Amino acid sequence: GRVPFTLKAGVDLRQVQRDQRVGSATYSFVGADRVASTTPLTGDDQAAPFLDPNYRHRTTADGYPTIQAIAAEKLYAAYVANPTHFTTNASTTYQTSILNSKYSRELISAAYLRGDLPLFRNRLKLIGGVRAEQTNIDAEGPLTELSRNVQRNPQGGPILGANGRPLPITTDPLQASILTYVDREARVTKEYLRLFPSLNASYNITENFIARGAAYTSVGRPDFNQYSGGVTLPDTDRLPAPDNRIVVNNAAIKAWTAHSSMLRLEYYFLGIGQITAGVFRRDFRNFFGNTEFAPTPEFLALYGLTPAIYGAYNVATQYNLPGRVRMQGFTASYKQALTFLPAWARGVQVFANLSSQQASGDATSNFSGYVPRSTNWGASLTRPKYVVRVNCTNTSPVRRGLVTVQPGIEPNTYTWTTRLLLLDFIVEYKIFKNIAAFANIRNLLSDVSNTEIFGPNTPPHARFRQESTNFGGLWTFGLKGSF
- Give 122's contacts (C-beta < 8 A, 6+ positions apart): 204
The band of 322, judged by pLDDT with boundaries at 50, 70 and 90, is: confident
Per residue in 120-178, pLDDT (tens digit) is 989 999 999 999 999 999 999 999 998 899 999 998 889 999 888 889 999 999 999 99
Are both 119 and 230 inside the same structural domain? yes
**Number of structural domains found in the chain:** 3
| pLDDT at 344 > cutoff 90 | no
* SS3 category, 287: coil
Domain boundary pick from 88, 112, 139? 88
- Domain extent at residue 480: 368-483
Averaged pLDDT, 422-426: 96
How high is the pLDDT of residue 236?
Answer: 87
Are 314 and 378 contained in the same domain? Answer: no
Please check whether residues 78 and 212 belong to one and the same domain. no
189 and 42 belong to one structural domain: no
What pLDDT, in 10s, does the model give residues 28-51?
Answer: 999 888 888 777 666 788 888 899
Residues 314 and 430 in one domain: no
pTM for this model (two decimals): 0.75
Looking at residue 99, what is its pLDDT? 94
The answer to whether residue 363 is domain-embedded is: no
**Looking at residues 414-427, what average pLDDT do you find?**
94
In a domain, 359, yes or no: no
Judge if 384 and 428 occupy the same domain: yes
- Residue 364 pLDDT > 80, yes or no? no
159 and 205 in a common domain: yes
Same domain, 481 and 427: yes
Same domain, 118 and 240: yes
For residue 334, pLDDT over 80 is answered with: yes
Q: Is residue 331 part of a domain?
A: no
- The mean of the pLDDT values for the chain is 90
Q: Which amino acid is at 151?
A: Q
Given a contact cutoff of 8 angstroms between Cβ atoms, the answer to whether 117 and 126 are in contact is yes
Quick one: 78 and 208 in the same domain?
A: no
- Backbone phi, then psi, for 85, in 5-degree steps? -80, 0
d(CA 463, CA 307): 49
295 and 147 in a common domain = yes
Environment class of residue 323 by beta-carbon count within 10 Å: exposed (0-12), middle (13-18) or buried (19+)?
middle
